[in-house]
Structure 1
């Protein structure tokens, strides 16, 4: 019997591959092909159509990496195809790799009308023809190299056009006009769907036997030399098994057409813009023959590109949206990294994303869609709710390496207690093709059987774009109601969430972050990209604050358009393969250039506003403070003529150097290590007994897969301490004024550190400059601390999250590397220590036995990596960064110093001090943003939050002549049930906040 089954299966496979699929096109008429290779970057159609084309034959080689070739196809429609469906079939040399990771095309008519996008699973260009008609079609073809290879994550030069070479990568294979044989197409999918279903059923299943018998009968009726003439008879043999309805209890899959287009990854942003056009052109063409299609798109940035690049196609998409075929959704500007981007930036992702859909489609999106982001912060649920969205989808958690999330549909609870209805598709892919294997996997693994009946299936070629195909829709049609299969129905995300919510309102609750047990190295890779993001986030805070302060006093015009543009550029670069550092060299080189331009423009905006506020050069030395707490008498969010004190000079004690500012005494030994950091206020040593602080450690870094993404736990098994004792390490230590200088030199690493105590605060700053030429290494900075604790606190969006410092369970052990924003804190009752940073995200926290009893806690910062894929040069070069040890610190101290380190004081000569435009009297309440309202009304918008995890009451006052104050959502619309309140300039506005609650208020003048 086994041999008999195998014979049938082999027969089916060979018939499909060698006979039926090729038979979908018949009566082929070759096209005359001409080509023009664009000499540089891509050009618009109007330029390409005027270019000098030269004849090429089939088999011609074309396409050096990253170049563009335009093909011109000419053909005359034969007289004998009247009444037939015709289409040009074009194969420029597609490989078997997934669409989006190789060459791609975009077909145009001579008048510039876009016909469709082309990729390996969509090679046809549908046309309306008449006999004798002369056809001309232009195809813009991108010679994108296949960077992701099937033989592993090997270093590649293809990620950079300067090193990818000039040899053509592709060979023209086919260009002809053919008749589309709909009957052969239908038979192909009848057999294919039943064959896939058969393989998902138990071997001894009666249904499987029925399907096998019907398939054999169909193949017997099919004449392989006359498929067109016998396909209908073969289909008749399958009619009964295809008509058998699904069981009443069959799982329901809401199929949502989708194309997860990475805004940059193994291609640059420039190419993503074209991928968007190609994908949506394919969707528009598919919708003409398949009105049941529902295609959802989640990144407004990409629609904005389409609007700029292809306005006619954008209007076609808007028309499809009005018909319900195209579905704008998702609610964020791009799909960002949901762990590394700052809190205010995540708020702006929602603001700009939702506002685009409202402006261009009239749609209030209610779902947030992050299928591929590398974990999700516990601060995100509240942001979703405050943007007036109520549903969330992610899929990446199916990549967990250790533990499986126990739910597919659940309520996700954030750090403030907000709950969002959440779904993780059990098909475990956001690029489904509606195959039998995917449907069977979704039905078998769905965690909520017995309580819920449905899940969502995002289908369509993605990552590199492409979207749904007519083959996928053919499979969906046959599995809509088919015995043995889940029921597949076309749906929008909102339709799925509404139905799932209605049937399962008491879904279980998952509290806290959605930690991804993979891709841990992405918190560290490509430091310069992460530094650019961090710096621009804080510069945007400064620019809005000072421009709003000056504009409210009629000193300058608020730069609405400029700030909007700058924010959108920063938000784009927070995409989940740019900010995490997991893209090709081209992407990160462009990102660094962009960040440099953004930094210069934002600095100029800030300086212009400060000059206006100071009234021009004057006798006062004004120190501006954009941080939310006072520093050395300088008002928060204001400026004053105050001189900042400096620590005393470093003194030498034997071979040691000692820094002392009256609050902390730090001792640096001759090897450049901290031998003591004593809290003079608490009279307590903070370093673990016998341990050294600021110990740099170098580990080999060879993850099993996904080099730039992953950091596998076995990296900790080996490594070396840079403690001045290695034979190849040279270390010098000296002092200059109030600073200790340390220089370490190794064969592939030169590092200079400057240690200095910050004035008036128990904070030891470590400024580090590194010439980093290591390969496949990770550099850590370790601080063994004399603190006994079972957990750490890490800053996240608008608050902090606690993570275990032990490994009691597999869930605890899997968090061996985690992400933080500006600080991480460890403490025991009554005493704590924080590590602050200006650009570091990756951390690890471990516990160790303490001499004499108890445990100590070691906190390590991940400073640099050196992965080889997809960018073999990642992180190599010179870097500068800062981290700080803050002793005797509670959470409030960590919050304050985190802002201070990232918002350095600005000094201006001026004529008058600058009073803060707003002030909050409770240090637990942080003013996160001060800006003018986006509607250009002149109203002042203030966003604040409770930062310590407790309840807080605060009074907000302002120097603005405000008449009313109104609570709003993130989009600055009046909060449901709220009314404007009269603002009393004498008493201000009192606000009561829950733990970690975010509050946005709008101050209006008469």
Structure 2
């Protein structure tokens, strides 16, 4: 017998495409539609429903970019249809085509359906285009809020486009209306479609000559014979009967098991603005609620407290329905964070506040304690995160993104992830390699085939539902899951909750493998640099929040001033939202980043008001010193946890005499001299020598230079704003051209041209005399270029220490392995330090995150280290004008150890402030442990007035000391991040005996 399987497969595919799929919705009849276009931003239902609507015909253009058009759909069922609905064989539905691109689940027009009374029914998406009509009624009327969102890169071509900016998006209609039809959905044909699709999918994954594949193929062939093409509805039952034996065949005992969790990854901003995300959430969440009414076993997980708050504020009816399903246990809040944030660039306290704000919201509003961290799509994961997760009383972590690695494959899918302090969190990477699966055979086969722990555990999680732009699960996906509960040739599928999955996975893997250190994504390295203004706004906001909380708490405790808790909470929420993993990384459309910059400006203005008001209270409430003088003196306030220019940490005092600093001209450059360093700058503004005067040690490598501007071509292989590819190093664009070098006051000022951009640098000795401060002003006018600032230092470093949250991580400088080589661009926060025994060099900054550190051959023998910071990029997608204009960067180059590096990072990012008054003692201080730093001082979240202190060990070693309150205390207790007492805590909460990098929260009552 000849092999005719290819012909049979072709017949099976055509039977489904041309016979079954069209018969699901039959008969069909057009429905009249009227429209009203909102002239500006979206309007509420009540306002739209009262407007004058005009007819909208099929094929008519509609929808300017980012516009909203309201549709009113009215009609009745054609004669004879009601009988079939009442007989239970059919369901009456409206099918809406807003002009959808076929086969694409998102990134285009969408709609939200309302009743005439203003209640939300469900969302409309390209692959979820139906509205169920109520039983027992022939007439119907619905309103649709149709959003004409541009299709920005749905084909992943990522070409430059003006539509991401309202100023350049234009007003021409984007879509042609495809019409609305009333249909009868044939239940039997729909069931046949699901049977057929489920089995046909197996043909793509089963071994070519396996008995099971042959059996499925012949079952579908028999069903094709049984199906009458002239009467699909009438013969659907016969076709299903032919498929029944194949569907009834049980999975093997060793089959992989899939915990299927309904999911809809909704980016809080990306190729759409934040305001559109609010509506995306309403569409998706209403779809999910509708499915829950239809499928009692359907479970859905959604992260991001911010998105729940949007529903609570803008769609209270949807929120109330969500709250009811949460109480039932079928809607599962996950993640415990305010948003699915980036974890590379937020500072330590900001990342902690993601959990304080997120978990706090879920506890207050929904009565739920989330225990798993849910970050499927962020661009790599900080080595500090396990400790922060543990400190938030969470115990599990899920992501999928590391499967995007370009070079190396993670060796585990379920494992313990160990952070810089030794904390471990149970972690799962779904081997399906997607966070928006459709539960199709290809996805599930991938999950089974790739599962690294097979043979030890046969369980993995699969998030299913359309994502990124929302949409979520569909009825087709749930029906597929039901058919794969126990199906030969497929993993077993169970609809379940994420916490149930984690409990089962932990039971099956009592001794999982351990991965130590960061989960570095070998991809999307450009996100450390893209959209520099957004990153600068984040850094400035984090430090202003520190100042505002510290001084407001001090004013409240010292003088009874009102603590602006609500205002600070709202400002924190704004900053946390901007840390979403497509905002802070710089990978969103222009509108998103313009709005982020506006929000950062508002946050800064409000925080400056809080700081000023608090300092006025503190300066005004402190008597002048009893030194025989009249009036008050200048007082310098220092919010850093380390002494700056002689002013005590987190306190205020009279400024002392500053170290002398001098600048002079030489024949071929300039000399800058301070108390602890001597710096030689050549006529190009490049540092050719930096002597540590205490040791006489030279910090600049022989024949090397520091403060060198380098421009490179930056044309990633794939995605502009996301990626920085290693080949940029091979395409330098020439040295800068110096037009002027001079002395102004205590600074050397150098003016450059590089590419089409202008750069002005000011180099001066820092006020404390121990560093050279470099201010770089760039007027940037490049496209697809990368600007780096380079320093060759005379240190033979094995590793580079980069500040991360509550500590630092050391990464190899060499590229011995493929893992090392792939880390050619890395993240650091306020400082990066390279050292050898006895000597180290620090480069600190006030807004930069992307770095690279490499080993060089040393003139005269040995090796040196090159440290470079990535200042600016110029990607053309998704924002073709990214980063154009003026930017100001501040750096400091110094010598010393790790704690000196920490001090420099705080100095650059926390400027001191002056008032007339007397000294102000710190609200708290640490005695006996110089490596223990206070990161946050605030009043308790519950309004009790207790003082909450967050501190950490910064050097990476053991530390003993004591936390000393500067006020009358009434007891202290160690707590988690949410300020709840720990189960296991020391009797004396103020006695500090810390592990390397240990993070501690102390709550101190006030007497």
Answer yes or no: is the 8 Å Cα contact 1:198–1:208 preserved in 2. Answer: yes
In 1, the alpha carbon distance for the partners of 2:111 and 2:560 equals 52
Q: How far apart are 1:150 and its partner, in Å?
A: 2.1
In 2, the alpha carbon distance for the partners of 1:735 and 1:561 equals 48
In the alignment, which of 363, 371, 374 is matched to residue 369 of structure 1? 374
Deviations 1:147-195 (A, max 9, x none): 1142722111111122122221111113122111111111111111111
- Name the residue aligned to 1:1005: 1006
Unmatched tracts of structure 2, length 5 or more: 623-630
In 2, the alpha carbon distance for the partners of 1:551 and 1:662 equals 39
Deviations 1:865-888 (A, max 9, x none): 00010000011111011111112x
Deviations 1:49-72 (A, max 9, x none): 001100121111111111011111
Q: 1:908 to 1:360 in 2, by over 3 A?
A: same
- Name the residue aligned to 2:120: 114
- Name the residue aligned to 1:992: 993
In 2, the alpha carbon distance for the partners of 1:707 and 1:632 equals 43
- Name the residue aligned to 1:768: 776
Q: Does 1:126 align with 2:132?
A: yes
Q: Does 1:751 align with 2:756?
A: no
664-673 vs 200-209, greater mean Cα deviation: 664-673
- Name the residue aligned to 1:938: 945
In 1, the alpha carbon distance for the partners of 2:877 and 2:768 equals 45
Where do residues 105-254 of structure 1 align in structure 2 (5 Å cutoff)? 105-131=111-137, 133-150=138-155, 152-254=157-259
Q: How far apart are 1:682 and its partner, in Å?
A: 1.3
- Name the residue aligned to 1:426: 431
- Name the residue aligned to 2:397: 392
Where do residues 292-371 of structure 1 align in structure 2 (5 Å cutoff)? 292-371=297-376
In 2, the alpha carbon distance for the partners of 1:948 and 1:248 equals 52
1-10 vs 850-859, greater mean Cα deviation: 1-10
- Please state whether the residue corresponding to 1:9 is helix, strand or coil: helix
Deviations 1:788-822 (A, max 9, x none): 01110101110110111001000000000000010
Answer yes or no: is the 8 Å Cα contact 1:955–1:991 preserved in 2. Answer: yes
Q: Does 1:545 align with 2:558?
A: no
- Name the residue aligned to 2:588: 583
Answer yes or no: is the 8 Å Cα contact 1:647–1:758 preserved in 2. Answer: no
Deviations 1:55-99 (A, max 9, x none): 121111111111011111001123422314211111111102532
- Name the residue aligned to 2:891: 883
- Name the residue aligned to 2:838: 830
In 2, the alpha carbon distance for the partners of 1:648 and 1:785 equals 23
514-523 vs 355-364, greater mean Cα deviation: 355-364
- Name the residue aligned to 2:932: 925
Deviations 1:357-409 (A, max 9, x none): 11121111100011101000010001101110000001100000000000000
In 1, the alpha carbon distance for the partners of 2:94 and 2:313 equals 29
Where do residues 493-504 of structure 1 align in structure 2 (5 Å cutoff)? 493-504=498-509
In the alignment, which of 602, 620, 635 is matched to residue 622 of structure 1? 635
- Name the residue aligned to 2:627: none
Deviations 1:643-697 (A, max 9, x none): 4515433111212110001311111111221111111111011111011111110
Answer yes or no: is the 8 Å Cα contact 1:555–1:612 preserved in 2. Answer: no
- Please state whether the residue corresponding to 1:216 is helix, strand or coil: helix
- Name the residue aligned to 1:896: 903
- Name the residue aligned to 2:978: 971
Answer yes or no: is the 8 Å Cα contact 2:635–2:914 preserved in 1. Answer: yes
Q: How far apart are 1:721 and its partner, in Å?
A: 4.9
Deviations 1:93-152 (A, max 9, x none): 110253230000100000011111010111111121325x32110000000111114272
Answer yes or no: is the 8 Å Cα contact 2:104–2:154 preserved in 1. Answer: no
- Name the residue aligned to 2:739: 731
- Name the residue aligned to 1:726: none
Q: 1:3 to 1:780 in 2, by over 3 A?
A: farther
Answer yes or no: is the 8 Å Cα contact 2:33–2:74 preserved in 1. Answer: yes
In 1, the alpha carbon distance for the partners of 2:621 and 2:923 equals 19
Deviations 1:24-47 (A, max 9, x none): 112223211000111100001011
- Name the residue aligned to 2:479: 474
In the alignment, which of 645, 660, 670 is matched to residue 657 of structure 1? 670
Answer yes or no: is the 8 Å Cα contact 1:107–1:114 preserved in 2. Answer: yes
Q: Does 1:851 align with 2:884?
A: no
Q: Does 1:66 align with 2:66?
A: yes
294-303 vs 714-723, greater mean Cα deviation: 714-723
- Please state whether the residue corresponding to 1:650 is helix, strand or coil: strand
In 1, the alpha carbon distance for the partners of 2:469 and 2:575 equals 22
Q: 1:644 to 1:30 in 2, by over 3 A?
A: farther
In 2, the alpha carbon distance for the partners of 1:359 and 1:768 equals 46
TM-score between both structures, scaled by the size of structure 1: 0.97
Q: 1:894 to 1:979 in 2, by over 3 A?
A: closer
Where do residues 431-830 of structure 1 align in structure 2 (5 Å cutoff)? 431-615=436-620, 619-643=632-656, 645=658, 647-723=660-736, 729-746=737-754, 748-830=756-838
- Name the residue aligned to 1:406: 411
- Please state whether the residue corresponding to 1:963 is helix, strand or coil: strand
In 2, the alpha carbon distance for the partners of 1:918 and 1:557 equals 19
Q: How far apart are 1:746 and its partner, in Å?
A: 4.0
Q: How far apart are 1:777 and its partner, in Å?
A: 0.4
- Name the residue aligned to 2:916: 909
Aligned length: 992
Q: Does 1:53 align with 2:53?
A: yes
- Please state whether the residue corresponding to 2:1004 is helix, strand or coil: strand
In 1, the alpha carbon distance for the partners of 2:748 and 2:963 equals 42
In 2, the alpha carbon distance for the partners of 1:532 and 1:314 equals 32
Answer yes or no: is the 8 Å Cα contact 1:658–1:666 preserved in 2. Answer: yes
Deviations 1:328-362 (A, max 9, x none): 11111100001111110010001111111111211
In 2, the alpha carbon distance for the partners of 1:224 and 1:316 equals 43
Q: How far apart are 1:997 and its partner, in Å?
A: 0.3
In 1, the alpha carbon distance for the partners of 2:755 and 2:829 equals 32
In 1, the alpha carbon distance for the partners of 2:979 and 2:439 equals 41
In 1, the alpha carbon distance for the partners of 2:515 and 2:235 equals 56
- Please state whether the residue corresponding to 2:163 is helix, strand or coil: coil
TM-score between both structures, scaled by the size of structure 2: 0.97
Answer yes or no: is the 8 Å Cα contact 1:626–1:637 preserved in 2. Answer: yes
In 1, the alpha carbon distance for the partners of 2:885 and 2:655 equals 39
In 2, the alpha carbon distance for the partners of 1:969 and 1:855 equals 45
In 2, the alpha carbon distance for the partners of 1:187 and 1:453 equals 30
Answer yes or no: is the 8 Å Cα contact 1:623–1:642 preserved in 2. Answer: yes
In 2, the alpha carbon distance for the partners of 1:884 and 1:205 equals 67
In 2, the alpha carbon distance for the partners of 1:722 and 1:97 equals 49
Deviations 1:673-727 (A, max 9, x none): 111111111101111101111111000000001110000001101204535xxxx
